[in-house]
Structures are given as C-alpha cells and as structure tokens.
Amino acid sequence: MTNPRRSEENDQVGSEATEGRSRSTQLPIVNQSGSSRRTALKIAGAALGLVAFGRAVAPMWSIPENISIAEFLQRHYKELTDEDKQEIFQRLASETKTRYGADVTIVDHRPIPGVKFAYAINLSKCNGNGKCMEACHRENNHHRGTNQSYIRVLEMTKGSLDMEHGTSTYDHPTPQPDKYYMPVQCQQCDNPPCVTVCPVEATWKEEDGIVVVDYNWCIGCRYCEAACPYHARRFNWEAVEIPAAEINPEQGYLSNRIRPQGTMEKCHFCLHRTRQGRLPACLEACPTGARVFGDINDPESSINYVLKNKRVFVLKEELGTRPSFFYFFD
C-alpha cells in the first residue's frame, strides 16, 4: 500500500472531512469497553437465533434418508465410466426396490450407429382418442397423481392451424365433426432451444436425434421449460407415486426410470424400446394408424416414404428449431 505524501491533497481531504463533519449530525459512538453484559446478551441472542433457525429448517433434516452421499457426488452422465454406471444403476434399482417395492432393471441404451429417428403424424387419421397418452403414462412410469404423459392432444378447429383455437382439455366423445386432432410431444429439434439454455448441460441431443435429460444432474431451474416452444417439458413438482404392480420394470437411465422429485423430464422417443429395434409405446397404442416412426437414414423406412410422398409440415417452423417431428394430412 503506497502513501503518497502530498500536502495539498491532505489539505483538500482535511477540508472535505471538516465539511462532512459539519453536515452530518454526530451519532454517539458506543463505548465498547465495560459493556460485557451487552456482549453476553448479544451472544445469547445469536445463539437463540441459530437454534430458532435450526428448528425452522427442521423439515429438511429428514431428506438425507432419501438422498445418499453417492447421489449427491454423482458426476454428469458423460463423465461416467462403465463401472460407475453399473454402480449407479444398481443403486437406483435398489432405491426403487426400497421406495416402491418393485424389482426393476436399469440399462444404459446407446444410440444405434448411423440411425437418426424421426416421427410423423397423419392428422387426417388421428381422431383424438387419447390412447397414445395412456400408453405413454404407463410405459414411462409417470406419477399416478397427475394423469399426464409426454403427449398433449390438441382438439383443433377445422379451418385453422392456430393453436389459439385449440384445447387439450376436451372432455367429450371424439371425433367431433367440426374438429381435428393434433398430438404434440417433444419435437426432438435439431436446433433445440432447451439444450442451449440449460446452464449445467443436463440435457443434450444424442447422435440418433433424441434429446435426453440426465435426471441426476438437472438442478431444476426450469429454464428449458420456459425455452421450449412446444410445451414438451415437464417438471417433477412432487415425488412420483406408482403402485409397485404398475411400475414398468424395463427402464433406461436416460428414459423411463422413475424420475427424482425436482427435476425435468420429457419425451425421449421411448429410447429404451426404439434403440432396441422396437417402436415407441404411443405408436403401438394408436388404434388409427396415424403415427409413423423410423430411421430417416434408412431409404426403405416408412418415415422416409412419408417425408418423400406426403406434404409434411413442422410446428412453428419460423422459430428455426428444425424439428424431427412432422405432421401431414392425407
């Protein structure tokens, strides 16, 4: 610390100090010596405050039973070795056993090299029966307290593609004569806004086009939910409750395993099925045949047929999200 000795500045400061002094009314300067009684009272007050704080946050003390140190210290999915994964999957499975009473296997399904998935829905066929939502709800171990899934079927008014004239809460027999039906789920964008905004890289796009979430890395800020233009993301507002008998035991780490409270989730094209050559649960459940799924890199696939031969469109194309999810009318 340097102390330039310049008398003119000292004078300047002196006059400034005098000014400051005359302007401000003096506060009594507390004499601290001999105020031991006051100090003792302060310490007692601080101690009382700390105890009160401890009592106030008491509801949190029961949490460590549910959150292990191993989970707290767990690294990001991409930094895990195969041994790490085995350990974590076993831990998650045993936690599921303890908490839900179900025996499950958790597997790390990796993308099939060279495959890029895409989905298309024939809006002329979809009749709004909602079987896809039910199938998703069961397949993906959704919280039974909410009847939700990764799919919202909008009942749209004929003559408009504007969602302002649609509703997903219709409660009457379908199809209605003046309506058509448009299921919306994660569009697995090639330029996904949710991935861009995530502050901790807890969500990313895999090689086969599926946008996934590491549920054990997500901090629950919900920025991705604000960023998604398709309302495809869900937050786990409370702990998931499912009867043991209803739990789907075939689980993927990045897909349908039971999600922890306070984290985001989304449609993952049923990667625990599709990466093993099966079809998404929503497609299998659809009674109208409106849904087409497949590998766009395979020239023989039905999705390629649709993309080449139908007049397909994507939702909110103007936003530049480049969805892998298409719609068409016959």
Partner 1 sequence: MKPADFNLGDSNLFGGNPDHPVRSYPKFILWGIGEATDGSLLFYLWMLVLTGIALVGANAWAVQVHDGMIVTNMTDHVSWGLYIANFTFMVGVAAGGVMMVIPAYLYHDKKMHDVVILGEILAIAAIVMCLLFVTVDLGRPERFWHLIPGIGRFNWPLSMLTWDVIVLNGYLLLNLHICGYLMYMRFLGCKPNPRWYVPFVMVSIFWAISIHTVTAFLYCGLGGRPFWNTALLAPRFLASAFVAGPALILILFEVLRVTANLKVDDGPIRVLLSIVRVTVLVNLLMVVSEVFTEFYTGGSHTASARYLFFGLHGHRALVPWIWTAVVLNVVAAAMFLLPVVITNHYVRVAACTMALVGAWIEKGMGLVVPGFIPSTLHEIVEYSPSLIEWKISAGIWALGLMILTVLTKLAIVVFQRPLAQHESEMSSH
To the nearest whole angstrom, how small is the minimum distance from the Cβ of residue 101 to partner 1?
21
Question: Closest Cα to residue 242, out of 131, 119, 128, 140?
Answer: 140
- The amino acid at residue 326 is F
Smallest distance, Å, CB 10 to partner 1? 6
Q: Which of residues 130-189 bind partner 1 (CB under 8 A)?
A: 148, 152, 154, 162-164, 166-169, 184
Four-point Cα dihedral 93, 66, 221, 80, nearest 10: -40
The DSSP secondary-structure symbol of 326 reads: E
Count residues near partner 1 (CB under 8 A): 89
* 235 touching partner 1, by CB under 8 A: yes
From candidates 80, 92, 198, 212, binder to partner 1 by CB under 8 A: 198
43 or 302: whose CB is closer to partner 1?
Answer: 43
Task: Pick from 107, 239, 296, 312 the residue near partner 1 by CB under 8 A.
Answer: 239
Asked if 305 is part of the footprint of partner 1 (rule: CB under 8 A), the reply reads no
- Site map (CB under 8 A) of partner 1, residues 33-52, x = contact: -----xx--x------x--x
- Contact 188/325 with Cβ under 8 angstroms? yes
DSSP class per residue in 124-176? TT-----HHHHHHHHHTT--TTS---S-EEEEEETT---GGGEES---S-S--
Q: Is 215:259 a contact under the CB 8 Å cutoff?
A: yes
Q: By CB under 8 A, name the one of 110, 231, 278, 322 that touches partner 1.
A: 231
Which residues are 315's β-sheet partners?
none
End-to-end alpha carbon distance in the chain? 80
Interaction between residue 313 and partner 1 (CB under 8 A): no
Counting contacts by CB under 8 A, is residue 53 touching partner 1?
Answer: yes
Residues 241-260 that bind partner 1 (CB under 8 A): 260
